Amino acid sequence: MQGFFNDHVLGSVPDLPPTFVVTTLNPATSESRGGIQILQQVIPHRASRIKVTRNGASWVLKTENVRRFGFNCIRSTPSSITVDGQSLGSVSGCLPVHYLRSDSNPKTWRVVNDNGAWQTTERGPLTYGPMERFLIANIIILYGTQGDGRGALPLQIATYLSNVLYFQERYAVNIVADTDFYPSMFESNMLLIGGPSSNYVSQKLANMFPKGLSFEGTNVTIGESTFSDPATGVLFQFQCSQESMSLCAVMEGTDIAGLMKAVSLFPISSTMMVPDFAVAGPAWGYAGAGGLLAVGHWNNFWEYDESLA
């Protein structure tokens, strides 16, 4: 086995072909090809491609659904690049230095050298969904203690999820009451059981919720739709700290039955494909996916976008 690695990993790297294509459906789950890495898409979670044509040390790049990309400099970089017909000269540096396409017309490319600060307000490889990527970091469950009518249920849900994550994924998940929250928890991803009306931390972070999502009591509005029927549950994730770029997920229901439906939406294993938000209606459970009232992804700026729902 060691001989195989010595021959194929530590040996010389073959030359790149004259043309090749860098492709991704999600920059969070893809690496580079030919030293080029796609960092952000124009429309998230749709196919993005960079077709590369090599003319010696000069490379011509043609992009499709790519908003940001960069060179990781694992290989030697080209002496000059042309992107979508725009000559950009020599490569300006290795990641996190990268290229950004303008959103306004005409579409032009420019160099960004902000040491990755753009990911504090926009989605990128560290914060793109889907929901199961919430599981790749340390997790803390904060259960709500505010309001009346739920008693010990939020703590019971937290205990159940902590146990399931331990037995299935070998996670050691801490359970904390919302009243015991402290700022260093932002270093972890936080699962918040209860919305702003029942969980102090959800209330504190409500200004960080994606634009287009809001609560009135336990009823949630996403875009132009308000979900208030009994036995309706919602699960969504958002970026809750710009400093650590950690994620938070909120589960809430219009009543106890709805809260339990939100619990069932949470991806307790990496094989459960759940987008950035999902709303389960009264028929969720026996109707399968037909019981979902809304599903979708947030856009690059953590906003509701009808085209992604």
- The pLDDT value recorded for residue 212 is 97
Mean pLDDT of 130-140: 88
The 10s digit of each residue's pLDDT in 230-283 is 999 999 999 998 788 899 999 999 999 999 999 999 988 766 789 999 999 999
Model pLDDT, residue 271: 67
State the CB neighbour count (10 A cutoff) for residue 44.
24
Quote the tokens at residue 177.
């009451």
pLDDT confidence bin for 147, thresholds 50/70/90: confident
pLDDT at 11: 58
- E strands along 93-216, which residues? 98-101, 109-112, 139-143, 174-177, 189-193, 213-216
Contact 64, 48 (CB under 8 A): yes
Q: Which residues contact 244 (CB under 8 A, 6 or more apart)?
A: 186, 187
Identify whether the C-beta of residue 19 lies closer than 8 Å to the C-beta of residue 52.
yes
Residue 161 has pLDDT above 80, yes or no: yes
The mean predicted confidence, pLDDT, of the chain is: 91
Q: Please tell me the pTM assigned to this model.
A: 0.89
Which pLDDT belongs to residue 141? 97
Q: Once rounded to an integer, what is the mean pLDDT over residues 55-65?
A: 95
| pLDDT tens for each residue of 43-52 | 999 999 999 9
Supply the DSSP symbol for 300.
T
Answer whether residue 15 shows pLDDT above 90: no
The helix-helix angle for 256-265 and 153-169 (nearest 10°) equals 10
